[in-house]
């Protein structure tokens, strides 16, 4: 009795699931539906294997079983075909859902493309404005620093000219006093020599300081010339 009733019940269950899903006006299948179909297909295959073993044992227990095994194999084949049908349907649903999702993503990207392009243009414009502001600030600082350097150079030149004027005036005064008194002239000459040495050292320090200012100015100009290239690379 089990051998006759099992395939009928199995086929009735399979045909009740698949046609009913195809006939009813239900929403589009989901991934859960696809997984359920594939799980059901696996379950049917497992059941087909178990029932075949039961049928085979029953056939072997019969004294005369001419068509028993043939019928058992046929029932197993029908059950496996039904399971394969369910599995193919599940895979088809998964492929269709993947296709629809890809189309939806593509449509979304296409719909958002103008807004995205506008945002990118705005970002580019903001970047250009920031770079222009940075360049203007660098130019302002460069001009300010150049003014400071020029001011220090002018101050140094004025101080040096003033020192030379004072030294020249003192030299003339010493020369005048030397004419009046040889001894005082000698002493003054000695003082003048010493003073000249001090002046020479002062001039040497002033020259070295002026050279340092020139070197700093050259380094600053070189740094300013290289800096915009580094900023552009960033």
Question: Which of 56-60, 85-89, 104-108, 146-150 shows the lowest per-residue confidence on average (mean pLDDT)?
Answer: 56-60
> Which one-letter DSSP state was computed for residue 66?
T
pLDDT tens profile 66-111: 688 788 888 888 888 888 888 888 888 888 888 988 988 898 888 8
Report the distance separating Cα 113 and Cα 210, nearest Å.
62
153 pLDDT above the threshold of 70? yes
Q: What is the pTM of this model?
A: 0.34
Q: Quick one: pLDDT at residue 172?
A: 83
Calculate mean pLDDT across residues 154-178.
84
CA separation, residue 112 to residues 26, 98, 106, 108, 145 (Å)? 31, 21, 10, 6, 49
pLDDT tens profile 38-55: 888 888 888 888 888 887
Report the distance separating Cα 77 and Cα 50, nearest Å.
13
Question: Which pair of tokens denotes residue 155?
Answer: 């101050």
Q: Quick one: pLDDT at residue 197?
A: 86
In angstroms, how far apart are the furthest CA atoms of the chain? Answer: 164
What is the CA 59 to chain-centroid distance, rounded?
70
């Amino acid at each position: 009795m089990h051998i006759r009733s099992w395939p009928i019940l199995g086929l009735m269950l399979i045909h009740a699931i698949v046609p009913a899903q195809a006939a009813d006006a239900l929403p589009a299948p989901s991934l859960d539906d696809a997984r359920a179909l594939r799980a059901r297909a696996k379950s049917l295959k497992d059941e087909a294997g178990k029932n075949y073993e039961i049928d085979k044992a029953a056939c072997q227990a019969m004294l005369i079983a001419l068509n028993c095994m043939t019928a058992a194999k046929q029932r197993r084949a029908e059950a496996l075909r039904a399971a394969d049908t369910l599995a193919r349907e599940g895979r088809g649903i998964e492929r269709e859902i993947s296709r629809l999702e890809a189309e939806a993503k593509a449509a979304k990207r296409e719909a958002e493309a103008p807004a995205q392009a506008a945002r990118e243009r705005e970002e580019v414009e903001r970047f250009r404005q920031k770079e222009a502001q940075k360049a203007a600030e660098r130019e302002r600082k460069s001009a300010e620093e150049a003014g400071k350097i020029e001011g220090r150079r002018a101050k140094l030149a004025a101080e040096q000219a003033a020192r030379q004027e004072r030294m020249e005036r003192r030299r003339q005064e010493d020369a005048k006093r030397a004419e009046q008194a040889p001894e005082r002239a000698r002493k003054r000459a000695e003082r003048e020599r010493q003073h000249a040495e001090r002046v020479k050292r002062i001039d040497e320090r002033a020259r070295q300081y002026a050279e340092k200012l020139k070197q700093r100015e050259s380094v600053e100009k070189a740094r300013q010339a290289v800096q915009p290239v580094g900023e552009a690379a960033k």
